[in-house]
Structure 1
Amino acid sequence: MSQDTLSDVLRGVRLRGAVFFNISAQSDWAAEAPSAKELAPMLMRGVDHVIEYHAVAQGSCWAGIPGGPSVQLSAGDVVMFPHGDAHVVSSAPGLRGSGDFSWFPGVEGAGRLPLRVDYNGNNVLLPPAGTAADGADVNIVCGFLGLDLQPFNPLIDALPRLLHLRASEDGAWIAKFTQQAVAESHAQRAGGEAMLARMSEMMFVDAVRRYADQLPTQSAGWLAGLRDRFVGRALALMHEHPAKEWTVEELGRHAGLSRSALHDRFVQLVGVAPMQYLAQWRMQAAARMLLETRATVAAIALDVGYDSEAAFARAFKRMVGKPPGVWRRERDAAAAPE
């Protein structure tokens, strides 16, 4: 492909990482996390979706979604919850935490991260960062990846609710990530937060690639479309030149299929028609420009393939529910520090 479509989507949805907790635990313990809808406004400003992950540096534990899937984790493993489900990490399957999240809102302004949290049975302690976890059965680094769901994020729906990365399946990469994360959280060195955030983003990209590589041949979804020779080429072309006046016939010619064959194959794998996908991706590209630049709405409209500001504004409002100027101001206000 002439364009790395996955990288383009990750830039478009503004993936960014942060590490907040270094958890040590012993005895029969359970740590419960609320859903992404509750977490996002408490932990990362200007983010409408949060993916939480847990990297086990020492010991073993269980992680799962109440009433849903669960897995056992060993040292070096990572588990993440792409859809933002409420979940539990515990010493044994089936345990539940207290559900008291009153201390979460203070995390963002708590100073240098990650914060140290100790679980001893049902007792939760917040000792000073950098102190040793004497007698702990398990040590876990918990982080968060923020990204945009609106106007359009094709990746999240293509991922499972629980994604388990085994250290043994990845050579030394995941194990080194967990070791480095713990070392940085203990050392509290300058630049540690930024380094852990970038490592978190790398780990997420690697997890998505590994998941895509393991998909069965007959799978459907955006990642399956990305892997497909013909649909993947059409996706790459639309991402490389989103403002171009594409037709399904022209995309098919570049991809090596007839118009009808490409349309049917695209719908079967991605779930929407090619032109619908293009319109949705244009809105996401526009949203990124609205948030990351001071370009006028008229200039952004031209950049994403609209002949007029009015036509673009109508399309944006249909998809997002608000005119682009109003949406930009509201998102800027939500991201501004208090």
Structure 2
Amino acid sequence: MLDRSSKPAALGTSDYLTGMLRDLRLDGVEYSRCQMTAPWGIAWPPRSQTRFYFVSRRSCWLKTPAGDWLELHDGDAVLLPRGGGHVLANAPDVEPSPPCACAVKTLCGNVLDVQGGGGGEHTLLFSGAMTFNVDPDHPLLRLMPDVMRMDEFIANEPDIPHLLEAMGREVAMDRIGAGGILARLADVLAAAIIRAWVERGCGAAKGWIAAARCPVIGRVLAAIHDSPEKDWSVESLAELMGASRSGFAERFAAVVGETPARYVAQVRMHQARQWLTRDRMR
């Protein structure tokens, strides 16, 4: 969980991470307005899709990919960046069913109406299945926690409560065009969670994130990411840092956790995968 007292990243680090964040975009795959009655439980198998949930009425429980149970209250929203197997239920002791056990009809486009449960107390929530436009090895995606709760980031994103209120109204009122509006709101809220996480220094993440917080090493990382095609050597990178070859190599490995040569190779591999993905989409 993020330290609420921590300050946003310093300007240099923020600029560098902004460049990384610019690579990320969430594309909506499917959205669902879920009307569930107790007892109910849905078990999602492990998938690479990002999952977003907003609880509009009552409360429910989320079993995270790590196996922990979190209670979600009216107005709560969560993001599971890497998807993973998880369960939503009105209580932890309910035996969950697969998603196919629910009654489903299309509201509009890729927005569905989902109903299920045993006929008891009514819970209303909205869910979204999304994909990042980058491969799973993107540095930011690898470092994200399994679960991101919206209330952890409200201090950094003052518009979040208003977006949640708007989403709550759209879910509850079932007006014409509500499905499309809900899908767009879900996209904005998911992006806001990720931006706030980045601005707060990416939690307790280590590796290159920790290095980016170091002004000197951060300058070197920014140069590598800006121009991975350059013929980088330990000597040329050491010049950027203003240190000797041996001093730079030792400091880089201590902060980043790997050698400069290995890090440059990983950045180049990531960019190559990005190019291949874009070529396939053309």
Query: Offset at 1:66?
Result: 6.2
Question: 2:9 corresponds to which residue?
Answer: none
d(CA) in 2 for partners of 1:151 and 1:137?
Answer: 36
Question: Are the structure 2 counterparts of residues 209 and 63 from structure 1 closer, same or farther at C-alpha, using a change threshold of 3 Å?
Answer: same
Question: 2:7 corresponds to which residue?
Answer: none
Matched, 1:160 2:145: yes
Question: 1:31 corresponds to which residue?
Answer: 42
d(CA) in 2 for partners of 1:100 and 1:253?
Answer: 56
Residues 34-183 of structure 1 mapped to structure 2, 5 A cutoff:
34-36=45-47, 49-65=48-64, 68-101=67-100, 111-121=108-118, 137-147=122-132, 150=135, 152-166=137-151, 169-170=154-155, 172-183=158-169
**8 A Cα contact 2:31 2:183, kept in partner:** no
Question: 2:17 corresponds to which residue?
Answer: 6
More strand by share: 2
Question: Are the structure 2 counterparts of residues 141 and 80 from structure 1 closer, same or farther at C-alpha, using a change threshold of 3 Å?
Answer: same
Matched, 1:230 2:216: yes
**8 A Cα contact 1:14 1:288, kept in partner:** no
Query: Offset at 1:52?
Result: 0.9
d(CA) in 2 for partners of 1:291 and 1:113?
Answer: 23
Equivalent residue for 2:206, pick from 197, 205, 220: 220
Equivalent residue for 2:235, pick from 245, 249, 265: 249
Question: Are the structure 2 counterparts of residues 3 and 287 from structure 1 closer, same or farther at C-alpha, using a change threshold of 3 Å?
Answer: farther
Question: Are the structure 2 counterparts of residues 226 and 165 from structure 1 closer, same or farther at C-alpha, using a change threshold of 3 Å?
Answer: farther
Structure 2 stretches lacking a partner, 5+ long? 1-11
Question: 1:208 corresponds to which residue?
Answer: 197
Q: TM-score, normalised by structure 1?
A: 0.64
Query: Offset at 1:263?
Result: 3.4
**8 A Cα contact 1:167 1:173, kept in partner:** no
Question: Are the structure 2 counterparts of residues 287 and 157 from structure 1 closer, same or farther at C-alpha, using a change threshold of 3 Å?
Answer: closer
The total of aligned residue pairs comes to 267
Structure 1 stretches lacking a partner, 5+ long? 37-48, 124-134, 294-327
User: Where has structure 1 moved over 6 Å in runs of 4 or more?
Assistant: none
d(CA) in 2 for partners of 1:113 and 1:70?
Answer: 29
Q: Kindly provide the CA deviation profile for residues 240-284 of structure 1, in whole angstroms up to 9, marking residues without a partner as x.
A: 222222223333332455444443444344443233222222233
Identity of aligned residues (%): 28
- C-alpha RMSD of the superposition: 3.7
**8 A Cα contact 1:35 1:84, kept in partner:** yes
Amino acid at match of 2:198: R
